[in-house]
Amino acid sequence: MTTDSAWYESACILCENNCGIQIQTDGRRFARIRGDKDHVATVSYTSNKALRPDHYKSGGTRLTTPLRREADGIFTPIDWDTAVREIAARLRAAR
Ligand code: SF4
């Protein structure tokens, strides 16, 4: 582990509150996260979600492609061009 010892200011984006957080990095991963005590609105507060962004960013169940819901309720992975084309066609039809 080659953790960068600097703390970088950021904000949690997992809900609309955007709590202030500080992050230490290890390459492209977040090594440590804490609430930002200097943040004007949230003053060190975070919920548990902000302390586990790697779980949301790199978790094994993270979606990596668009999914199309089929008539039987099953979700089928599709590529982005297909997803955009199909969504655009449905929007045109709805309009
Ligand atoms: S730390 Fe929790 S409350 Fe704050 S923005 Fe993230 S998810 Fe929302």
Q: Are 32 and 23 in contact (CB under 8 A)?
A: yes
For residue 87 the two structure tokens come to 């969504």
54 and 84 part of one domain: no
13 and 54 part of one domain: yes
Which atom of ligand 1 is found nearest the CA of 42?
4
13 and 48 part of one domain: yes
Q: What is the pTM of this model?
A: 0.67
- Our answer on whether the CB atom of 13 is closer than 6 Å to any ligand 1 atom is no
Residue 78 has phi, psi (to 5 degrees) of: -135, 160
- Our answer on whether the CB atom of 21 is closer than 6 Å to any ligand 1 atom is no
Asked, for residue 3, whether it belongs to a domain, the answer is: no
pLDDT digits (tens, 9 = 90+) for 18-70: 999 999 999 888 899 999 999 999 999 999 988 888 788 778 888 889 999 99
Q: Are 34 and 9 in contact (CB under 8 A)?
A: no
* Strand partners of residue 34: 22
| C-alpha–C-alpha distance, residues 43 and 20, integer Å | 7
Q: Are 68 and 83 in contact (CB under 8 A)?
A: yes
- Our answer on whether the CB atom of 51 is closer than 6 Å to any ligand 1 atom is no
49 and 12 part of one domain: yes
Domain of 77 in residue numbering reads as 64-95
